[in-house]
Amino acid sequence: MTPLPPMSYAHAIILGIIQGATEFLPVSSTAHMRIIPALLGWGDPGTAYSAIVQLGPIVAIIAFFASDLLRYLAGIQRSISAGQLFPKGDTDARFGWYTVFGTIPLAIFGLLLEKKVDHEYRNLYFIAAALILLALVLFAAEKVGKRNRNLESLSFKEAMIVGFAQVLALVPGASRSGTTITAGLFLGLDRESAARFSFLLSIPAIALAGLYKLYKVVIKAHAPIGSVAGPYILSAVVAGIVAYVVVRWLLGYLSKESHSTTPFIIYRIALGVALIFLAQIGFVAP
């Protein structure tokens, strides 16, 4: 079995920073992990790298929301003991189940579209189109969203709408946090609440995706890590640290009404246009 591709420590640190910085911002980490290595002439890191480096952000987001997760798990246990899915007045049980059920659409479609996601959808023109299109949809959400609701007002039906919006994140360039925050804004949530639910929903989503890829690449395929273990692990650690800082910053940033997602919208459009131009002139291969 071919071993995992070797990686220098310098490359590992740079890729880890990129992964961690973009994992929870509405700019698409998958797109950046496809684009930036191509611009630097490194090639696509591929699923082997993603399988391992995603463990860092998984640990980071679990650590950040540890107290919330413990409450939600306790709430789920109470609801099971009471024989009620959504016990009246038990917000923790409600959001615990919201997080579980909201992940199901992504899990189903992720398995159905796995080959397309890993290959066909990674075309740079496809990514550029997704970057621009989602930016326009997010712009519309900013304009029409009332932003007069907090997270506690979210219903099960609305949580599932956000869960189905997360399916769009299977398209590189769409962004998991971008699609879910956009859905939350359309539902009238304030920006911080939309981002918070997006991050909570990301925990099982990223964990399942990362562990599934790790199982396929390292365990099922028996691909030995061997001497390349150091850089891969370092990259995951760097990604986790950066991701933790980004989550804390973004929630603080969006908590202020004067702060919108406009900078991310502009960035997405600029990146998409630049990517199309660079592919057209042959600077990067689609």
Q: What is the pLDDT of residues 101-118, one digit of tens each?
A: 999 999 999 888 887 776
Does 285 map to a domain? no
| Rg value, the chain, Cα | 19
Report yes or no on 3 lying in a domain: no
Specify if 219 maps to a domain: yes
For residue 206 the two structure tokens come to 């990223």
Q: Contact, 30 vs 172, CB < 8 A?
A: yes
Cα angle for residues 254, 258, 259 (degrees, 5° grid): 35
Whether 238 maps to a domain, the answer reads yes
Distance CA 248, CA 64 (A): 8
Place of tokens 């911002």: 25
Could you say which residues of the chain have pLDDT below 70? 1-4, 46-48, 118-119, 217-228
Residue (of 142, 128, 131, 117) closest to 213 by Cα position: 117
- Determine, yes or no, domain membership for 84: yes
d(CA 72, CA 93): 6
Range of the domain at 209: 9-280
Burial class (CB in 10 A: 0-12, 13-18, 19+), 130: buried
Q: Which residues pair with 189 in a beta bridge?
A: 149
Instruction: Tell me, rounded to whole angstroms, the distance of Cα 193 from its chain centroid.
Output: 17
* Count of structural domains, the chain: 1
The answer to whether residue 1 is domain-embedded is no
Q: Is residue 192 domain-resident?
A: yes
> Is residue 151 a part of any domain in this protein?
yes
Question: What is residue 33's predicted lDDT score, i.e. its pLDDT?
Answer: 85
34 is written with which tokens? 């496809």
What is the pLDDT at residue 1? 41
Q: What is the pLDDT of residue 8?
A: 86
User: In this predicted structure, what is the pLDDT of residue 54?
Assistant: 84
| Tokens of residue 80, six digits | 């099971």
Q: What's the confidence (pLDDT) of residue 2?
A: 44
